[in-house]
């Protein structure tokens, strides 16, 4: 009979193997204990903080300088501030709806947001132009004051409420130019029969002065001026006008922009979609709109003069000032028109009274501050 030899270290190896197995099991249990709450929190976070994916339609060509970039900047700011919880896809004019279809698309809820200008909708709401710009009205600084500290925004929301819309100021171009003309304007006689693209209440004044106001989306202006469909057009100012190449199809560039002294752009939000958002995302929209509103004004202030020098020095654009008697006639017609429209429409009267009262009060200070300083420097 033989006896099998067992190495002395074998029991130790068995013990080590058992200890290793126990340790690995403990580590697995510990990992599960750590990751399970994290996974649970992530799942709860997704359930409690869903991602909202919205569409915004605009009245501008996609990524058009200034006007078209403002909604893009807004969407980026919203996504960043919301940490990706509110994602907005921006569509230029005619990608989903025509430029002049923005109001109805957002009102109906087919899209959640739009970016454009309130005066485009004066056929639906006669008082709407006050929230973009009106002839011989407030400049950008004054209009922002009225909207945010003078009761203007509350009135704006009141007139949009029946259309299921919530408006926000979302950009300002500052004082615009008077427009591009293919003939000189030396007197009111030169306005007679002249076909001009000019929207809002400025268009109403132009028509009453003997011209023919036509509303055409920005993307169609160059060909309309080139083909003779219109004799003149206003658009914005040198920064945008240079981008559209109007200097190639019109000779004279007139100032000042009597019809749009401080043009506010708008973001409109479908009221039901907005109400469905958590409160913190509603605040994100409001803050991002205020940012874009100021940012656009800063951009135009910076870029307009540079573009004007290029139009004059490199492209031979002939800069002209409207004659004083023409401006005086436009001004007289404007205020006569306001009085008539206020007498015919109760809401127009309500908005106009608030607007005029604020303008009169702020102008008394600007007479000794802004205006006097500009003349002295």
The pLDDT tens digits for 294-319 are 999 999 999 999 999 999 999 999 99
Residue 237 belongs to a domain: no
- Which residues form the domain of 71? 50-173+262-301
CB 176 within 8 A of CB 239: no
> Which pLDDT value is given to residue 45?
45
Q: In what order do the strands lie in the sheet with 264-270?
A: 86-91, 52-58, 113-116, 264-270, 165-172
Residue 220 belongs to a domain: no
User: Is 145 buried (19+), middle (13-18) or exposed (0-12) by CB count in 10 A?
Assistant: middle
Is the pLDDT at 329 greater than 80? The verdict is: yes
Residue 336 belongs to a domain: no
* CA 288 and chain centroid, separation: 11
β-strand 113-116 against 264-270: which pairing, if any? antiparallel
Tell me the pLDDT of the chain averaged across its residues: 91
Interatomic CA distance for residues 326 and 25, integer angstroms? 91
> Which pLDDT value is given to residue 74?
98
> Which pLDDT value is given to residue 218?
84
E strand residue ranges, the chain: 52-58, 86-91, 113-116, 165-172, 179-181, 195-197, 212-214, 232-233, 252-255, 264-270, 318-321
Residue 210 belongs to a domain: no
> Which pLDDT value is given to residue 49?
82
CB 289 within 8 A of CB 74: yes
- The single-letter DSSP state of residue 182 is S
Residue 242 belongs to a domain: no
E strand residue ranges, 83-142: 86-91, 113-116
Interhelix angle for 69-81 vs 279-313, to 10°?
A: 150
Domain count, the chain: 1
* CA 241 and chain centroid, separation: 18
Interatomic CA distance for residues 16 and 10, integer angstroms? 10
Residue 114 vs residues 215, 218, 224: alpha-carbon distances, Å: 19, 16, 26
Q: Position of tokens 């008697």? A: 325
- For the segment 345-359, the average pLDDT, to the nearest whole number, is 98
- For the segment 16-42, the average pLDDT, to the nearest whole number, is 53
Element (H, E) at 340: helix 324-344
Q: Give the range among 26-30, 85-89, 124-128, 150-154 with minimum mean pLDDT.
A: 26-30
Q: In what order do the strands lie in the sheet with 318-321?
A: 212-214, 195-197, 232-233, 179-181, 252-255, 318-321
Interhelix angle for 200-208 vs 324-344, to 10°?
A: 110
> Which pLDDT value is given to residue 219?
84
Interatomic CA distance for residues 199 and 221, integer angstroms? 13
- For the segment 273-296, the average pLDDT, to the nearest whole number, is 98
- Count Cβ neighbours within 10 Å for each residue of 159-189 and write b for 16 or more, e otherwise: bbeebbbbbbbbbbbbbbbbbbbeeebeebe
Tokens, residue 376 = 């002295």
> Which pLDDT value is given to residue 115?
98
Domain at 81, CATH number: 3.40.190.170
Taking only the tens place, the pLDDT of each residue in 106-155 is: 999 999 999 999 999 999 999 999 999 999 999 999 999 999 999 999 99
Interatomic CA distance for residues 176 and 357, integer angstroms? 23
Residue 357 belongs to a domain: no
What is the percent of the chain where pLDDT is above 70? 88
Q: Position of tokens 């994100």? A: 284
Is the pLDDT at 332 greater than 60? The verdict is: yes
Interatomic CA distance for residues 64 and 139, integer angstroms? 23
Q: Give the range among 46-55, 85-94, 360-369 with minimum mean pLDDT.
A: 46-55
Residue 272 belongs to a domain: yes
Tokens, residue 328 = 């005086």
Query: pLDDT band for position 216 (50/70/90)?
Result: confident
Residue 316 belongs to a domain: no
């Amino acid at each position: 009979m033989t006896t099998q030899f067992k190495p002395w270290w074998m029991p130790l190896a068995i013990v080590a193997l058992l200890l290793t197995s126990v340790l690995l099991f403990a580590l697995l249990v510990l990992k599960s204990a750590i990751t399970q709450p994290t996974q649970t929190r992530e799942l709860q976070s997704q359930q409690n903080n869903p991602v909202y994916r919205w569409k915004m339609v605009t009245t501008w060509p996609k990524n058009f300088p200034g006007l078209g970039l403002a909604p893009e900047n807004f969407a980026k700011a919203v996504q960043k501030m919301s940490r990706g919880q509110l994602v907005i896809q921006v569509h230029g004019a005619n990608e989903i709806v025509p430029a002049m279809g923005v109001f109805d698309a957002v009102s109906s809820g087919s899209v959640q947001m739009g970016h454009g200008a309130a005066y485009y909708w004066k056929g639906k709401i006669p008082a709407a132009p006050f929230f973009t710009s009106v002839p011989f009205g407030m400049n950008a600084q004054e209009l922002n004051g009225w909207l945010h500290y003078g009761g203007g925004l509350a009135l704006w929301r009141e007139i949009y409420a029946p259309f299921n819309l919530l408006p926000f100021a979302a950009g300002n171009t500052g004082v615009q130019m008077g427009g591009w003309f293919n003939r000189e304007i030396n007197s009111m006689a030169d306005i007679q029969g002249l076909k001009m693209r000019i929207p809002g209440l400025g268009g109403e004044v132009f028509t009453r002065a003997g011209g023919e106001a036509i509303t055409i989306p920005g993307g169609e202006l160059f060909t309309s001026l080139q083909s003779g469909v219109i004799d003149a057009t206003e658009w914005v100012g040198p920064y945008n006008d240079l981008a559209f190449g109007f200097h190639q199809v019109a000779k004279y560039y007139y100032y000042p922009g009597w019809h749009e002294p401080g043009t506010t752009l708008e973001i409109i939000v479908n009221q039901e979609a907005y109400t469905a958002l958590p409160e913190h995302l509603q605040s994100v929209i409001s803050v991002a709109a205020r940012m874009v509103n100021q940012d656009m004004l800063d951009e135009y202030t910076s870029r307009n003069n540079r573009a004007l020098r290029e139009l004059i020095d490199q492209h031979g654009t002939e800069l002209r000032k409207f004659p004083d008697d023409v401006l005086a006639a436009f001004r007289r017609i404007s205020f006569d028109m306001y009085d008539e429209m206020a007498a015919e429409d109760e809401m127009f009267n309500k908005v106009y009274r608030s607007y005029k009262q604020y303008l009169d009060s702020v102008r008394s200070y600007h007479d000794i501050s802004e205006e006097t300083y500009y003349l002295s420097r």
